[in-house]
Amino acid sequence: MARYDNYTNKEMQAVTIARQIKDGQIAIVGTGLPLIGASLAKAVYAPHCYLIVESGLMDCDPIEVPRSVGDNRFMAHCGVHWTNATYVGFQANEWRHDKKRMIAFIGGAQIDPYGNVNSTVIGDYHHPKTRFTGSGGANGIATYVNTIIMMQHEKRRFIEKVDYITSPGWIDGPGGRTRVGIPENVGPQMVVTDKGILKFDEDTKRMYLAGYYPSSSPEDVIENTGFDIDVSRAVELEAPDENVIRLIREEIDPGEAFIKKPVEE
């Protein structure tokens, strides 16, 4: 008989994503863990949320896990297919009318204490050690939409200063976004990692540990963060229900496209 009490950190990360999406919200998702989490939210936590992707597909409800934002599995079960320009305009319009119903998920290779994300280059921009695919739609999303950032929690990723700002966070603290000419009333809300949730202090805009997984600890987070981080407010997060893990493994991602099942002994 299959076990569902042996959840992995990636499954816990997907569940944590799902718990952040509220009923009635519009969630901009890509593929991978954000899609697993958003699909789980729609199935369990927020049945009336709306999933959209940057290719212009709106109100998606895929019955199989898509492999990209242009996958037919997205297209077959969506409300409408907009042009990219219309999709970007929709983001800007939500911001212009100060709507709070949109949340977006982005990721990257590096992040700093203020939520600035690098998905462009490691090292000097003109003579890089590593060059990545870059922004895609993430810069526009981070400019106009409240974001939840997905990262694996490693010291080489959580650093004091990113090599390149692909997607703006709170820049350098209070008023930072205004100083560089982007909206101040939106920005990064939290970082969801394979160790817990990190949020941003309302006054300083600096990252702090808000919650850690039962498999982690504040000490584990400190050890894997490349800058000083406040853990005094951290609480242990609730472990996922076994039925939620069953949904991930048997219905949402049965082919293990993005989350591998643990090997049962």
Domain contains 170: yes
Q: What is the pTM of this model?
A: 0.93
Q: Tell me how far apart the alpha carbons of residues 105 and 89 are, in angstroms, rounded to a whole number.
A: 18
Q: What is the pLDDT of residue 259?
A: 92
pLDDT in tens, the chain (265 residues): 789 999 999 999 999 999 999 999 999 998 889 989 999 999 999 999 999 988 888 998 887 788 877 777 778 788 888 988 898 888 888 888 877 899 999 999 999 999 999 999 999 999 999 999 888 889 999 999 999 999 999 999 999 999 999 999 999 999 999 999 999 999 999 999 999 999 999 999 999 999 999 999 999 999 999 999 999 999 999 999 999 999 999 999 999 989 999 887 6
The domain of 176 spans 9-251
Residue 51 belongs to some domain of the structure = yes
Whether 207 maps to a domain, the answer reads yes
Angle at 227 between CA 211 and CA 201, to 5 degrees: 50
Handedness of CA 56, 14, 19, 231 (dihedral sign): negative
- Structural domain contains residue 185: yes
Report the pLDDT value the prediction gives residue 213, as an integer from 0 to 100.
97
> What six digits make up the tokens of 213?
């997984």
The phi and psi torsions of 99 (rounded to 5 degrees) equal -75, 150
H or E stretch covering 35: helix 33-40
Q: Does residue 256 lie within any of the structural domains?
A: no
For residue 202, indicate whether it is catalytic. Answer: no
User: Long-range contacts: 1-4, Cβ < 8 Å, 24+?
Assistant: 2/246, 2/249, 2/264, 3/264, 4/242, 4/243, 4/245, 4/246, 4/249
Residues 6+ apart with CB under 8 A from 183: 95, 143, 144, 177
- CATH number of domain containing 65: 3.40.1080.10
263: in domain: no
Alpha-carbon gap, residue 20 to 148, rounded angstroms: 9
Q: Which of 54, 64, 154, 251 is catalytic?
A: 54
Number of domains in the chain: 1
Is the residue at 264 inside a domain? no
* Amino acid 265: pLDDT: 62
User: Cα–Cα distance between 55 and 82 in angstroms, integer?
Assistant: 8
Q: Give the CA radius of gyration of the chain.
A: 18
Quote the pLDDT of residue 99. Answer: 77
| Residue 197 is assigned to a structural domain of this protein | yes
